[in-house]
Structure 1
Amino acid sequence: MNEMTQLNRLRSEVPRPGAPELRAEERRLLSEIAALGTAPPARPGRRTGRLPGRPVSLRANLRTSLALGAAAMAVTGVAFVGARSLPSSESAVRVAPVAVVEVLQRAADTASRRDELRPEPGQFLAYELQVMFPVKLKEGGKDVRYLDRSLFKVWLPVEGSPLDGGVMTSEHLEPRPFPGEPLPAEAERREGSVGAPSKLTGYDIRPDHQRTDYVSLSRLPTDLEGMREHLYRGLERDPLADYKAWGGVGSMITQAYMPSAQRAALFRAAGTIPGVETVDEAEDAAGRRGVAVAMVNRPGGVRHEYIFDPTTYLYLGERVVVVDAATAGAPEGTLLTSTAQLKVEVVDQAPKVAR
């Protein structure tokens, strides 16, 4: 690990103030310097220089000091940059101008204030999602890969397993080649095809405490400690407990809807998971830009990110990015999967499925 990496990681835990805060801090410092010769000494233990509306703390002072010291480096474009296959506009992943706790706290505050849906048993939550994921198939006797892009509409029952009445439709959007590989002809043939409503199939073997239907989620704790305990339930001796808890966060916010009290508790609990960092330039599957909170899965060689709107802090989607080419089997920086949660609403019934 070199010095610049260490510096970036140090700054990743300290939120950087915006330009208005920096200007206010500059004015305060200049004012205090000018008054040094005339002002009486401060009483022992007294704190000075409080920004309006912001409690004084060592954390706030450290944040400002680091931000001022890093201002000169910012113009040189100090960033984590990989040999990435993402478009050039998002090729530089800069870690953490906003601290993890601050992002998730703002997301929690947003959840507490927003108007919420109140579905009833017997109804459905209807989701519209745009998704990109890798597909492997045979072409010319060889394994080929590409990135499928699809628009899904999913209707999930408010109570019970998604297999109990869940319905989905899909539309294949323009595919993208897997980094370093040509786009298979089969991928191009699928573009534009639309699937008729079909029942969700598969196996749902999750224990009851991992159910993500609305009724189950509405029974979860509404405090940080209780929600954190829920995230780690059954993982006490698991060496990947932190990463699995991080995955549990995603399972409760993507293609799932929580009451605001539980959602706020979830975001606050997520901020206590060790190893979480922030990524300030993330893009969901629909091209919406935001700030992300992320965790690296070392055994898998990927970074799993949850993306929030940088202004409203509403949840946008998630994505998985390669950080270790040898482990993940794809070039570093490859965007393996991404999701954009575009819409969620309550409906009385799902579309009819043809027999």
Structure 2
Amino acid sequence: MIRNPRRRTEPLDHAELACLLPAPADPRLAADRRRLLEEHLMNEIHRSDPAPAPAPAPAPVRRPVRRAALIAAPVAAAVALAVVVSLGASPDTATVAAPRLVKAPVVQIEEGSAVKVTSTVRELAAAATANAAPRPGPGQYIYIKSRVSFMASSFNGDTGESATWVQPLHDREVWRSPDGAKGWLDEPGYQAKGGIALGSGDPLKQQTCTWLAAQPADPDALLKFAYSTAGGARDRDQQAFNEIGSIIREQLVPSGLAGALYEAAGKIPGVVVVEHAQDASDRDGIALARLDPQTGERSEWIFDRESHQYLGSRGVQIREVNGVKPGTVVERTAIVTRAVVDANKQHPGAGRAKA
């Protein structure tokens, strides 16, 4: 079913909105961050009240949560819609009351080191190459279950006070056909009851199993591709790092290609090794990380210290930007299960799911 945003019945106060929102450095956003904002809008479609929205209040303003993508939209428009527009759902769609946000955890910042990047990447690549990932066959689906939590900051325009909140840790289940044409997302509390369908309209063609299987396991070629996705005035090195990170999060990457992706990431200037980082399941591992010079957030990919398998990710604020204090954990994820199943919405070890 196609759902369209309900139009406002009164003009938008653009001057007021401009005061509430920080001006973007560039209208384009890195692929993974764009996708996180875009899915927030999809969530709003499924859980918002169908009545027209009142005029925006001057405070507080919440920054949208960040997650993997479902739809495409310019980032400036995405932020504006998330702040001032209530998107209408169809009458037969169950609305979702999202759980109350909680205070973001704060951790002691551990300094990253560039000295061990080469040796760590070599170990990660060797482990990935040695452990063959399952390959989906015709009619099968890739299933990923994870635990996630993402940020939603608030800013009071009257007092200048800000606070950083996060979603409670919760489950997220994704099914995708190898070509990305079909799929399902179930995220209780953040999607309509039972989940929502994913399809070929999602901007993930470069993250499908079929696309990945056709790529060469060549670090230089993959690095060139990652940089080709960068644009605008944002840091190109960070955009390339984010692009590789978006590929490994919710996908079954062929073993040889996974190793080459890690090697490609290790060649990006500014990448460091963080000796201790915890994923959303509190598993302590070693991380490949990079500090975004614009947002002040360090993105960390966390790996098991012994097996070197990917565990999840974490975002830690390293320097204060827009009121987000250093040490704040602005996002956490943890992979619970990666598997191949025989049908959409089927769980590993279960019989075929009903259509």
Length-normalised TM-score, structure 2: 0.61
- Name the CA distance, whole Å, in 2 between partners of 1:330 and 1:169: 30
Match of 1:95 in 2: 112
- Name the CA distance, whole Å, in 2 between partners of 1:92 and 1:231: 28
- Name the CA distance, whole Å, in 2 between partners of 1:198 and 1:236: 31
- Structure 1 stretches of at least 4 aligned residues deviating more than 6 Å after TM superposition: 352-355
User: What fraction of aligned residue pairs are identical, expressed as a percent?
Assistant: 27
Q: Which secondary structure does the structure 2 equivalent of 1:319 belong to?
A: strand
1:287-339: per-residue Cα shift (whole Å, max 9, x none)?
111011111111111111111111111111111111121x2431111000111
User: In the alignment, does 2:253 pair up with 1:258?
Assistant: yes
User: What amino acid maps onto 1:197 in structure 2?
Assistant: G
Tell whether the 8 Å contact from 2:164 to 2:324 is kept in structure 1 after alignment.
Answer: no
- Name the CA distance, whole Å, in 1 between partners of 2:138 and 2:211: 11
User: In the alignment, does 2:166 pair up with 1:153?
Assistant: no
1:162-200: per-residue Cα shift (whole Å, max 9, x none)?
xx322122245xxxxxxxxxxxxxxxxx9xx99423223
Match of 1:338 in 2: 332
Q: Which of residues 245, 250, 271 is equivalent to 2:240? A: 245
Tell whether the 8 Å contact from 1:151 to 1:170 is kept in structure 2 after alignment.
Answer: yes
Match of 2:66 in 1: none
- Name the CA distance, whole Å, in 2 between partners of 1:237 and 1:199: 32
- Name the CA distance, whole Å, in 2 between partners of 1:97 and 1:236: 26
Q: Which of residues 259, 264, 267 is equivalent to 2:262? A: 267
Shift, 1:98, TM fit: 6.7
**Structure 1 stretch displaced more, 113-122 or 230-239:** 230-239
- Name the CA distance, whole Å, in 2 between partners of 1:241 and 1:316: 26
- Name the CA distance, whole Å, in 1 between partners of 2:186 and 2:354: 12
User: What amino acid maps onto 1:108 in structure 2?
Assistant: A
User: In the alignment, does 2:324 pair up with 1:311?
Assistant: no
Shift, 1:201, TM fit: 7.7
Task: Give the structure with the higher percent helix.
Answer: 1
Shift, 1:95, TM fit: 2.7
Match of 2:198 in 1: 200
Question: Which aligned pairs between 1:86-235 and structure 2 lie closer than 5 A?
Answer: 86=105, 90-96=107-113, 99-135=116-152, 146-148=165-167, 149-160=169-180, 164-171=181-188, 195-200=193-198, 204-205=202-203, 211-235=206-230
Number of matched pairs: 242
- Name the CA distance, whole Å, in 2 between partners of 1:354 and 1:136: 39
Tell whether the 8 Å contact from 2:277 to 2:286 is kept in structure 1 after alignment.
Answer: yes
- Name the CA distance, whole Å, in 2 between partners of 1:137 and 1:285: 23
The higher radius of gyration belongs to: 1
Tell whether the 8 Å contact from 2:182 to 2:199 is kept in structure 1 after alignment.
Answer: no
Question: Which aligned pairs between 1:321-336 and structure 2 lie closer than 5 A?
Answer: 321-325=316-320, 327-336=321-330
User: What amino acid maps onto 1:153 in structure 2?
Assistant: E
Length-normalised TM-score, structure 1: 0.61
- Name the CA distance, whole Å, in 2 between partners of 1:203 and 1:278: 36
Gaps of 5+ in 2: 1-103, 347-352
Shift, 1:239, TM fit: 5.1
Shift, 1:144, TM fit: 7.5
Change (3 A) 1:296 1:125: same
User: What amino acid maps onto 1:96 in structure 2?
Assistant: S
Gaps of 5+ in 1: 1-84, 173-189
Tell whether the 8 Å contact from 2:220 to 2:264 is kept in structure 1 after alignment.
Answer: yes
Question: Which aligned pairs between 1:12-91 and structure 2 lie closer than 5 A?
Answer: 86=105, 90-91=107-108
Tell whether the 8 Å contact from 1:103 to 1:313 is kept in structure 2 after alignment.
Answer: no
Tell whether the 8 Å contact from 2:188 to 2:195 is kept in structure 1 after alignment.
Answer: no
Change (3 A) 1:117 1:286: same
1:202-234: per-residue Cα shift (whole Å, max 9, x none)?
96346x5xx101010111111222222222224
Tell whether the 8 Å contact from 2:132 to 2:254 is kept in structure 1 after alignment.
Answer: no
- Name the CA distance, whole Å, in 1 between partners of 2:170 and 2:192: 10
Question: Which aligned pairs between 1:288-299 and structure 2 lie closer than 5 A?
Answer: 288-299=283-294
RMSD, aligned CA: 3.4
